[in-house]
């Protein structure tokens, strides 16, 4: 269940850097990079549902990768540099990472490259 703004989860300094300041974790450092359990991934700040574990795949990029999101729950915006597309939580606008297309890792041809510190896993 998505939390209202007044009930958003407190963030650590590192989580705040990623979610609020659009930072990036070091590759291969996140807890969900090699993670594979059944459930859903939600926004760490507001717990808005973002991804099913069924859409997670190992792209070898060093960050958790997903080829699909829950419809309308992840928004795409132009990155400040104008070259990439940022993905943000559709509820609280917290930074998740970036989306890439045309790499042919999966049939959907989409890779959401997500910071582990931006998401939280909820077991099915």
Q: Quick check: 39 and 121 in contact, CB under 8 A?
A: yes
In this structure, how many other beta carbons lie within 10 angstroms of the beta carbon of residue 19?
Answer: 25
- Burial class from Cβ neighbours inside 10 Å (0-12, 13-18, 19+) for residue 15 reads buried
Which of 43, 46, 92, 113 is flagged as catalytic?
113
Q: Is 113 a residue of the active site? A: yes
Active site residues: 113
């Amino acid at each position: 269940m998505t939390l209202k703004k007044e009930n958003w989860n407190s963030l650590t300094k590192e989580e705040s850097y990623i979610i609020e300041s659009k930072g990036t974790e070091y590759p291969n450092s996140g807890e969900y990079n090699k993670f594979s359990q059944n459930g859903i991934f939600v926004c760490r700040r507001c717990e808005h549902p973002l991804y099913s574990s069924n859409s997670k795949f190992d792209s070898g990029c060093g960050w958790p990768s997903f080829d699909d999101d829950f419809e309308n729950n992840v928004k795409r915006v132009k990155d400040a540099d104008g070259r990439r597309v940022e993905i943000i939580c559709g509820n609280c606008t917290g930074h998740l990472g970036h989306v890439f297309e045309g790499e042919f890792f999966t049939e959907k041809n989409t890779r959401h490259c997500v910071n582990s510190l931006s998401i939280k896993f909820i077991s099915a």
